Amino acid sequence: MAAKPAYRDRPEVEVAILDALVDRREEGMTVFELRTAVDADIDRIEAALGELKDDGLITVDQAETRLRVYPHDRVVPDSTPEPDDPGILDRIRSKLGL
């Protein structure tokens, strides 16, 4: 699953991090897990995490000895599917009986 379209205009590494976190939104990810999921060096990942945290798009939780990163709820797309809205061509075909 990908982050909401509103957050896809960010730098490539940030989008990759958000996408990875959205896929694992319940359990979060460690920095090590993010490093394996995102095709970037650790310095770029750390810089991107800093930007995302500053912008309030991720949360960081230290449970026990591990640091886990989670996406903010506003980044996660709704899980309810949108109703099927036929396009204009489908409506014309339907009216014409095609």
pLDDT digits (tens, 9 = 90+) for 48-77: 999 999 999 999 998 777 899 999 999 988
How would you classify the pairing of strands 66-71 and 58-63?
antiparallel
Average pLDDT of the chain is: 87
Lowest mean pLDDT among 36-40, 75-79, 87-91: 87-91
Three-class secondary structure of residue 30 per DSSP: coil
Q: What is the value of pTM for the model shown? A: 0.76
Judge: domain 5-96, CATH 3.40.50.170. Answer: no
Task: Please check whether residue 61 is in contact with residue 70, taking contact to mean a CB–CB distance below 8 angstroms.
Answer: yes
